[in-house]
Structure formats: C-alpha cells, structure tokens
Structure 1
Amino acid sequence: MIRTEGLTKVYESKSGRQEALQDVSIHVDKGDIFGIIGMSGAGKSTLLRLIGMLEQPTSGKVWIQGQDVSMLTQGQQKEQRKKLGIVFQGYNLLMQKTVRENVEFPLRLSKTPRTQRRERAQELLKVVGLGDREGAYPAQLSGGQKQRVAIARALAPNPELLLLDEPTSALDSFTTASILELLQDLNKRMGITIVIITHEIGVVERVCNKTAVLDLSRVAEQGYTSEVMANPRAEATRRLLGLGGGFHG
C-alpha cells in the first residue's frame, strides 16, 4: 500500500541546514492501522506530509499502491492525492460553515452534484456518530465532535488511505478512547488503511497492528506493535514505554 525507501528531507534556511528526516524506510500493507510514534521533533509530521504528497523529499522514494509518486506530474499527483484522506492536527474546520457543509467541502471542490454530496455527508455523519448535528457549527461542538467532523470530511471522497496527524493530542482520555474505537470501526467496516502520527504510546498499543518508532529523524525500529512493545530493541522505544534510557527528540 505504502512504501518509503531512503526518505530524506532537508530544510535550508538562514539559520542553517535542518535534516527533518534521514534515510527513512517503512512499509504499510493494505488494511493496516500503522502507528508512527516519536517525541516532538522526531520527524513524524514531515513523514506524513511526504506520504501525502504535500511536500517533495530531498532524496528517497515514496510508493503508493506500487506507484512511485515522484515520477508523477503535478496534475497526476493531484489526482493521486484524491485517494488520500488527511486529518491535520487542530481540525482545520471552516467555522462559518455547518457541520454538513464542512463534510461536503471536498466534494464541492470536485464539483460533485449537490444532492449527491449532501447524501454522502449525511451518510458519513451517521457513521461517525453525528447524524443529529449536521446543522450545528464547529463552535458549538466539543473537541471530540470536531475531530469526528474532520474524519468524516476526510472520508467524503471515499479515499483508500487515511492519514491522521496527532488525532487525540488535544482530547481527554474518554474522548480519546471513543475516537480510537471509531478508527478501528472504520478500518473494519470500510477496509480503509490508516496511518496515525502520534507521541502517545497508548494510542499505538490500543489500535495499531504495526508501528514505526522515529528518533532523531530516523527509524529506530519497526514491526508488529505487539512485538515492538514486548521486546523493544531501541533506546527510544524503551523510553516511550517508561523503561529508562534517554530519548532524543
């Protein structure tokens, strides 16, 4: 489904050269809930943006469904991006639009007929448990409800892959549990592949079948979550698990 090979991203600025990612190689299979975990500054969000074709790597490759996306034209990348649903940290909802209008927004951009996009939005709001809030505005919603709207909006174009950047970082424990249950349900019900960027070890332990641990912009280790957590090889993983050792973000 997704494969990266030797992925490196370097940012140049007046203050110097920053390597956000160094030689990152991961493999996500269709149907996975794949966790990418690490502390702030480890390179997690940069990796998500490269997978989502929102930025270009300095070197290395990204394959999505066997397609080397670096070989695509800008127009082809735009079409490929339609197969991805991305939920950014902070929800990014349109505050002057209703819940239903927010979910409809990507369908409006693709010129989906009004009746079809309304039906799709109403269907997805029921799926995420907000069927009775379609006329509400984001300011009237809790953090967990806003996250559900953002997820519904990302699902509107019927993507094959859902990318989420810190989907539970601003939520309390009860709401976090409900969002993770929703993601598991979407994975099973729709067969959608999910990649979760997080710094919370409990998130990957609860819902991710596979995990990659990032540290100092590199992959410290990766594999099946149960194996990584039961027998951590990297110092970074041990630190995340509270087993001691230093962690470098």
Structure 2
Amino acid sequence: MTKVLLIEDDTEITTLLKSFLERYGMEVIAYENPLSAIDSFGIESYDIVLLDLTLPQLDGLEVCRQIRKKSDIPIIISSARHDLADKVVALDYGADDYLPKPYEPRELVARIQSHIRRYAGSLAKKPSRFAIDSERMRITKDGVPIELTLAEYELLSLLIKNAQKVISRDFIANNVNAISWESSERSIDVLMSRIRHKIEENPKKPLFIRSIRGVGYKFTE
C-alpha cells in the first residue's frame, strides 16, 4: 500500500484528500504542523510527500528543503501560491512536482502513481551489493557472507530494507527483536559501529551507513 505523507493545515482539504486517495489504495498520514511532520521521518516510513506551502510555524519551501536533506522520496508541492518564484525555489530545493490549487483529484492520483513508479524504477536500476537470505538468516556483500550476530543481522536487514530512508533509534528499537526497548542510544550506536567494521572499507568514513545528526541512520549504496 502506498503511504502518503500529507502536510496540510486546511482540515477540510485533508479530509477530502484522505477520503479520495484511500479509494485508490493509499494510506494517508496527515500533519497540520510541519515540524511534527519533519520529526516523523525515521519513525514512520513514507513513499511520497504531498506538501502545501502556506503552513504555520514553517514555510512549505523550507519544509521541502529539510525533508530533502533526510530522504530522496518524491515530493509533490500542492499550493494555491502560483508565483513563479515559489515554483523555481521549490524545484531548486528538491521538489519533484508542483501542482497548483485547485486541481482535479484524479490528476493528483496520476502524478503520485507516476512519481512512485519512477522512483522505484530508479532504485531498481542499480543492483544492490547486499543480499538478504531470510531462510538462512544471512546477508552477503558482493556474494560473500558477512559474519553477523543475531542483533547485527536484524539491524542490518532493517537498514537494507529501508535503504535511502532515515530511520531513528526509536524505530530501530521497535523493529529489531534482538534489541530491547530499554536499550540506550549508546548501545544501538555501538552495535552500528560493529556492523560498520564488518561492511565498510573505512568505518571512520562510512559509505553505506550514514549517521544523520539528531535523527538516526541512513543506509545507502
């Protein structure tokens, strides 16, 4: 199911969009507060962002810029602001599309589906150096098995399955069975360091597991 992050402060529009998009098999996670939406990255996993520009506390253009620093997922700007300067800045900040309000909801669905297909296709074109064998609980890098403990296997699997997405330490604690909820941030960082020493050529300058300050980690190839 496609998971849409909707950042919109107009509750009427939010209600209408959620109802319409759900008819097309999409799950919509809506935020009125853009700061809360940004903080949700790494806790929630999304497929696409639908972003208004006129928002409380933080302008949508800045929201776009901050999201792009955290994730490569598609961002569609949906705004009543038709100023060419806004469109140029939005695209410069990393937005993938700009849809002026009002618009036909079916066009929005078509654009969402198009961007998701394009994004999935771009990820699929690049063969992964890592492969997960769930039955044997084994991960290989360039075809060579990596010696991992159970906790290391579960954590690296989680990172690979969420490649290109920023995941938080809370998300890790909730989704890695071998890590207890009470585990400190330090213990997760130590575990991550051990994995880096096993998969990185230079653990001090990691290419695959990047630390995102104040948020968590991002796996990329």
Bin the TM-score by the shorter chain: 0.3 to 0.5
- TM-score, scaled relative to structure 2: 0.36
Higher relative contact order (CA 8 A, sep 6+): 1
Question: TM-score under structure 1 normalisation?
Answer: 0.33
Q: Which has the higher strand share?
A: 1
